[in-house]
A = this chain, B = another copy of it.
Amino acid sequence: MRRVSLIEATCPIARALDEIGDWWTLLIVRDAFGGKTRFGEFQKSLGLAKNILTERLKTLVANGVLEKRPASDGGARSEYHLTEKGRQLRVILFALRQWGEDHLFEDGEEMMVARDRGNLPIARLRLMNSVGDTLAPEDIVTAKGRKRKQTAHASTRTTLA
């Protein structure tokens, strides 16, 4: 259990974990990417207690990761769809996926595998600087700065103080 909220932290990692950092939240998002939209579909997939799923879905909607829509078939049950903010969690899921593939499975073990629609494998995510040099952990430093105003397709979104 958390003892403090991290939402006031200046570290984007801390703030992201405050918002999406528990198992169920990212698994609900994973299932939403897989096309699931209904409470019952998430519940069946995750085997999660209904009260916990209700609470997690409510938080995801409140945080703008999912949006609740009327049923597309005109029925009584609402649907949950990823927002653009939610869709951008895809990279986090793939970073988790690749690390999991590398370290948590034995050779030959059964595993869900991701491909593109043309059946090509997904490239490994790599940390690079803005000119394309691959970076090792010790090549990276952090310092106090400020968030820079976002512009479309900006490759640099931050500035040092």
Chain A residues close to B by CB (< 8 Å): 2-4, 6-7, 10-19, 21-24, 26-27, 30, 33-34, 47-49, 52, 82, 85, 87-133, 135, 137, 139-150, 155-161
Contact = CB atoms under 8 A, between A and B. Distances in A.
Contact of A99 (B88, B116, B139): B88
Copies of this chain assembled into the complex: 2
A150 to B, nearest CB: 7
B87 A91 contact: no
Q: Which 8 A-B pairs have the closest CB atoms?
A: A12-B100, A113-B145, A16-B100, A95-B95, A120-B129, A16-B96, A92-B95, A105-B147
A84 B142 CA distance: 21
Contacts of A104: 7, 12, 15-16, 19
Contact of A98 (B12, B126, B159): B12
A22 to B, nearest CB: 7
Contacts of A48: 3
Nearest to A158: B113
Contacts of A100: 11-16, 19
